[in-house]
Amino acid sequence: MYTRVILITRFFAVAALLGCAQLGHAQQSFNPGARQPGASYDSDFKNEKPGPAPRHDISGVWEPALFYSDAVQAIGAKNYPADGKPEHVPPFTPAGLAEFKKHKVGQGVDAVPTAFVNDPVDICDPQGFPRINLHNFRTSQIAQTADQVIILYQFNKKWRVIWNDGRTLPKDPDPLWWGTSAGKWVDDYTFVAQTVGLDDRTWIDNVGRPHSDQMRVEERYHRVDDKHLELTITIDDPVMYTKPWVALDKLRLRLQSKGFEIQEMECSPSETNAYNKKLGDTGSMQKPGAK
């Protein structure tokens, strides 16, 4: 029996279930009319005049402000979609480009048939950070303690801890799927976190942008008013990229009402395997470039 294990509907399975399906040149976002049950969006409050932002507070349940799938980012980080436009190609170093070409992706301009995709997420390996924010970033909950900012993600029911106790990041950290994160308030309404020590088996986004173990990721959470939060993510990896690049720029999130329940979206290896077999029948597909 399917019990909300994979996704809310099969409609979202193509993108939210790990990007398994071959979508070719898919659009960056899905139907703007899609909604999470019970959620509210900016379009519901056209004449709204939000109040002032609270100081040092980004807590609450947050939803993409425009519509539910605004941050699906199926064909790559929102600022750098794999749509064939030169301005959307990250600033690869030669090593970065070589590593990128090893990754066989199921979506975007470089997509290959499903049977040949080597996305580690397709076998339910952790997608890791920052991909948790750059692919299928949906509803999330932020909780604050005296020493931590804790982020709970809807997709695959993952969570992260950002330390906010004044500690410095390790200089030679052991690689982790989610890295080691520390942050601080840079003003009354902006919390900035740095993350290092990320396992280089993970991809940065859904179209295989690579990273090394030297990558540093900056998250910037800016509380605009009492209803909105903006999230910006910057990638800094001197091994794979010639300069830092902003993968997500001021993604607008909307605070949800108290008591709002985040629906379950989980990766089930058994269902993933069945889905991949159905979509990846090698007997009916040619290898890339074959005639």
| Residue keyed to tokens 């029911």 | 157
Q: What is the pLDDT of residues 172-226, one digit of tens each?
A: 999 999 999 999 999 999 999 999 999 999 999 999 999 999 999 999 999 999 9
Pairing of β 148-153 and β 190-196 = unpaired
Q: Which helix (H) or strand (E) holds 220?
A: strand 216-223
CA separation, residue 239 to residues 99, 200, 204 (Å): 11, 12, 14
Nearest Cα residue to 168 out of 145, 144, 194, 149: 194
Residues in the chain: 291
Nearest Cα residue to 163 out of 235, 223, 222, 219: 219
Q: What is the pLDDT of residues 76-133, one digit of tens each?
A: 999 999 999 999 999 999 999 999 999 999 999 999 998 899 999 988 889 999 999 9
CA separation, residue 5 to residues 2, 72, 106 (Å): 6, 18, 22
Q: What is the pLDDT of residues 215-266, one digit of tens each?
A: 999 999 999 999 999 999 999 999 999 999 999 999 999 999 988 888 877 7
Instruction: Give dist(CA 10, CA 23) in Å, integer.
Output: 15
- Provide the residue ranges of all domains of the chain, joining segments of one domain with +: 10-22+58-281
Instruction: Give dist(CA 70, CA 258) in Å, integer.
Output: 22
Task: Report the percentage of the chain scoring pLDDT > 90.
Answer: 71
